[in-house]
A and B are shown apart, each in its own frame.
Chain A
Amino acid sequence: MTPLLEVRGIDKSFGPVKVLHKVEFTAYAGEVTALVGDNGAGKSTLVKCVGGIYPIDDGEIHFDGRPVQVHSPRDAGELGIEIVYQDLALCDNLDIVQNMFLGRERRRGPLLDEDSMEELAERTLSSLSVRTVKSIRQQVSSLSGGQRQTVAIAKAVLWNSKVVILDEPTAALGVAQTAQVLELVRRLADTGLAVVLISHNMNDVFAVSDRIAALYLGRMAAQVKTADVTHAQVVELITSGRSGDLGLKNGVTP
Chain B
Amino acid sequence: MKHLRLGAPQVVWIGLVLAGLVVAFSVLAPRTFPTSFNLLNLVSDAAILLLLATGMTYVIITAGIDLSVGGVLVFSAVSAAKVMEATGSLALGALAALVAGLAWGVLNGVLIAMGRIPALIVTLGTLGMSLGAALLLTGGVDLRAPTELNLGLGLARWLGVPVIVWICAAITAALALMLARTRFGRHTYAIGSNAEASRRGGVAVRAHLVKVYGLAGLLAGLAGCLSLAKYGITGVSAHSTDNLQAIAAVVIGGTSLFGGVGTVAGTVIGVFIPVVLQNGFQILGVRPFWQQVVVGAVLVAAVYVDQWRRRARDH
Contacts and interface: CB of A to CB of B under 8 A. Distances in A.
Contacts of B314: 141
B189 interface: yes
A215 B259 CA distance: 40
B193 A103 contact: no
A131 B201 CA distance: 25
A102 B197 contact: yes
B251 to A, nearest CB: 16
A114 interface: yes
Nearest to B310: A141
Contact of B201 (A103, A107, A110): A103
A91 interface: yes
Contact of B1 (A88, A92, A137): A137
Contacts of B139: none
B230 to A, nearest CB: 31
Contact of B194 (A83, A91, A107, A137): A91
Contacts of A105: 183, 186
B200 A89 contact: yes
Given A89-B200, A135-B1, A141 B190 contact: no
Contacts, number: 78
Interface in B186-223: 186-187, 189-190, 192-194, 196-203
Interface of chain A, helix or strand or loop or mixed?
loop
A90 B194 contact: yes
A113 to B, nearest CB: 10
B6 to A, nearest CB: 12
Given A77-B202, A93-B261, A102 B313 contact: no
Contacts of A104: 201-202
Contacts of B182: 107, 110-112
Contacts of B193: 91-94
Contacts of B203: 102-103
B190 A89 contact: no
Contacts of A112: 181-183, 186
A89 B196 contact: yes
Contacts of B2: 114, 118, 137
Interface of A: 53, 73-74, 77, 83, 85, 88-95, 98, 102-105, 107, 110-112, 114, 118, 135, 137-138, 141-142
A92 B260 contact: yes
- Most chain-B Cβ atoms within 10 A of its Cβ — which of A73, A105, A107? A105
Nearest to B187: A103
B23 to A, nearest CB: 33
A91 B183 contact: no
B1 to A, nearest CB: 4
Contacts of A142: 313
B193 to A, nearest CB: 4
A53 B202 CA distance: 12
21 contacts: A73-B199, A73-B202, A90-B194, A91-B197, A91-B260, A92-B193, A92-B194, A93-B260, A94-B193, A98-B186, A102-B197, A102-B198, A103-B202, A104-B202, A105-B183, A107-B182, A111-B181, A112-B186, A135-B1, A141-B314, A142-B313
Nearest to B192: A93
A44 to B, nearest CB: 14
A218 to B, nearest CB: 24
Given A89-B197, A102-B197, A94 B189 contact: yes
A226 B187 CA distance: 42
A89 B186 contact: no
Nearest to B191: A91
Given A103-B203, A111-B182, A91 B1 contact: no
Contacts of A110: 182
B200 A73 contact: yes
A166 B112 CA distance: 33
Q: Which 3 A-B pairs have the closest CB atoms?
A: A103-B201, A103-B202, A93-B260
